[in-house]
């Protein structure tokens, strides 16, 4: 199948508090060079290659980040950047993008992608997208992507799979038995050995008609107000009153025909500083340096360092720390507390918002 009416909807609304201090309100994670020379959103766009060219990419982002999107993704036409006046979770983004595409390309098929994940290699990823576009077009189902677990992760939601419904190229298409919330350690271990559970990657494929029908059936409080808007100004006004619900909860867990394509290429949601360990090379003592800084380490093992080029980080006798320098702020915490960086951000929101 050719995909001349395939569009990408890139979700770039994240505020990225878990990557403070590198990610700030003014520059969340997706606009950062977390693990390379391009920012995560640039990588997300680059990965689409010629499969979905720039003029068929929509980006949904906060109004305060529109300038960053235009700067980092200059080839995307300005009218393809949808500026949310306020964040209202993924159902609102997806509904707005679907309405926009219904107007511009009613027969389109979409890939919906987060802007802040790391996925490689890109060529394999495009084969996966092609399979999903084929399946979404042919079946009219809502298609999701499930990552084959490599460890008993407790930080992801899971998808329990059912029987195989189709094959698309090298990829299998499975029924979704159910969506499962983030499990505790013991359940995660059971999921890992069961072979019937995948990580919920937050990526989707569907036709514009299919997602609109599903939103109309399961999320009318989100779709309705947006559907009645005649202009972008109307949308901005309507947005504040929308409920903030995740698409998984509002639609995916409710809809009848939901399918999943398992995949095994490298995927990382870069959910916290510790993710850098998995996506960057280590030195002989297991230390990882991102951002371009120089590391000098003695008796220092398993640390994750992020600091800009031209800076020196000297670690002596410390292990398993996260050390991040950005702007005039510095964070030091143990790796097993990296998920709690939000607590620092919350404290700063009360006491020192100039640092956010």
The greatest distance separating any two alpha carbons of the chain, rounded to the nearest whole angstrom, comes to 63
The answer to whether 238 touches 229, Cβ cutoff 8 Å, is yes
| Residue 348 lies near a copy of itself (rule: CB under 8 A) | yes
Region binding a copy of itself by CB under 8 A among candidate stretches 70-78, 143-151, 237-245, 319-327: 319-327
Q: How far is the CB of 317 from a copy of itself (least distance, A)?
A: 4
Determine if 237 is a binding residue for a copy of itself (CB under 8 A).
Answer: no
352: contact with a copy of itself by CB under 8 A: yes
Task: Return the number of the residue (238 or 321) whose C-beta is nearest a copy of itself.
Answer: 321
- Residue 138 CB contacts under 8 Å (≥ 6 apart), including other chains: 1, 166
Asked if 194 interacts with a copy of itself (CB under 8 A), we say no
Pick the closer one to a copy of itself by CB: 221 or 298.
298
**Helix and strand element counts for the chain (H, E):** 11, 17
Question: Nearest approach, Cβ of 219 to a copy of itself (angstroms)?
Answer: 37
Binding track, positions 12-41, relative to a copy of itself; x by CB under 8 A: ---------x--------------------
Cα 286 to Cα 109: distance, rounded to the nearest angstrom: 44
Residue 221 as a binder of a copy of itself (CB under 8 A): the answer is no
Which residue bears the tokens 């920012």? 39
Query: Could you say which DSSP state residue 301 is in?
Result: B
Residue 285 contacts a copy of itself per CB under 8 A? no
Mapped onto helix, strand or coil, the DSSP state of residue 11 is strand
Q: Which is nearer to a copy of itself, 22 or 174 (CB)?
A: 22
DSSP category for residue 315:
E
Tell me which stretch binds a copy of itself (CB under 8 A): 45-53, 160-168, 250-258, 325-333. Answer: 325-333
Q: Name which of 237 and 314 has its Cβ closer to a copy of itself.
A: 314
Based on the shown chain and the rule CB under 8 A, indicate whether residue 317 belongs to the binding site for a copy of itself. yes
Question: Would you say 122 and 49 are in contact if contact means Cβ atoms under 8 Å apart?
Answer: yes
Cβ of residue 291: shortest distance to a copy of itself, in angstroms?
12
Q: Are 275 and 262 in contact (CB under 8 A)?
A: no
The region of 44-52, 90-98, 206-214, 322-330 touching a copy of itself under the rule CB under 8 A is 322-330
Tell me the C-alpha distance between 232 and 226, whole Å: 10
Q: Does 334 bind a copy of itself (CB under 8 A)?
A: yes
Least separation in angstroms between residue 308's CB and a copy of itself is 9
- Looking at residue 250, the DSSP 8-state letter turns out to be I
Beta strand extents in 28-150 (DSSP E only): 57-62, 81-84, 109-114, 118-120, 142-147
Q: Which residue has the tokens 């159910």?
A: 178
Least distance to a copy of itself, CB of residue 325, Å: 6
Closest of 81, 80, 145 to residue 113, by C-alpha: 145
d(CA 96, CA 76) in angstroms, rounded, equals 18
Judged by beta carbon, residue 58 or residue 322, the one nearer a copy of itself is 322
CB-facing half-sphere around the CA of 122: CA atoms within 13 A:
11
Interface positions with a copy of itself (CB under 8 A): 21, 294, 296, 298-299, 307, 310-318, 321, 323, 325, 328-334, 337, 340-341, 343-344, 347-348, 351-352, 355
């Amino acid at each position: 199948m050719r995909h001349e009416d395939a569009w990408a909807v890139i979700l770039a609304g994240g505020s990225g508090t878990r990557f403070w201090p590198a990610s700030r309100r003014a520059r969340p994670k997706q606009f950062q060079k977390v693990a390379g020379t391009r920012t995560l959103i640039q990588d997300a766009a680059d990965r689409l290659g010629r499969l979905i060219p720039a003029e068929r990419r929509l980006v949904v982002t906060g109004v305060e980040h529109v300038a960053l999107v235009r700067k980092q993704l200059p080839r995307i036409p300005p009218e393809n950047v949808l500026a949310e006046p306020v964040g209202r979770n993924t159902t609102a983004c997806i509904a707005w993008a679907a309405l926009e595409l219904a107007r511009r390309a009613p027969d389109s098929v979409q890939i919906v992608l987060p802007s802040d994940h790391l996925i490689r290699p890109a060529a394999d990823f495009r084969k996966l997208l092609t399979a999903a576009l084929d399946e979404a077009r042919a079946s009219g189902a809502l298609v999701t992507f499930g990552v084959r677990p490599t460890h008993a992760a407790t930080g992801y939601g899971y998808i329990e799979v059912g029987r195989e419904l189709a094959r698309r190229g090298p990829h299998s298409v499975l029924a979704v038995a159910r969506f499962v919330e983030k499990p505790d350690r013991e359940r995660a271990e059971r999921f890992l050995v069961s072979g019937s559970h995948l990580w919920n990657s937050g990526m989707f494929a569907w036709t514009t008609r299919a997602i609109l029908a599903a939103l109309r059936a399961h999320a009318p409080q989100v779709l309705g107000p947006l559907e009645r808007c005649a202009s972008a100004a109307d949308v901005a006004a309507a947005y504040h009153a929308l409920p903030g619900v995740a698409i998984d909860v509002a639609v995916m867990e409710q809809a009848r025909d939901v399918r999943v394509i398992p995949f095994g290429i490298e995927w990382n949601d870069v959910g916290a500083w510790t993710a850098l360990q998995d996506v960057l090379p280590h030195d002989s003592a297991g230390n990882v340096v991102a951002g371009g800084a120089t590391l000098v380490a003695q008796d220092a093992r398993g640390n994750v360092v992020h600091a800009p080029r031209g800076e020196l980080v000297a670690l002596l006798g410390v292990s398993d720390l996260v050390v991040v320098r950005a702007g005039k702020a510095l964070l030091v915490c143990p790796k097993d507390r990296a998920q709690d960086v939000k607590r620092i951000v919350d404290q700063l929101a009360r006491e020192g918002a100039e640092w956010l």
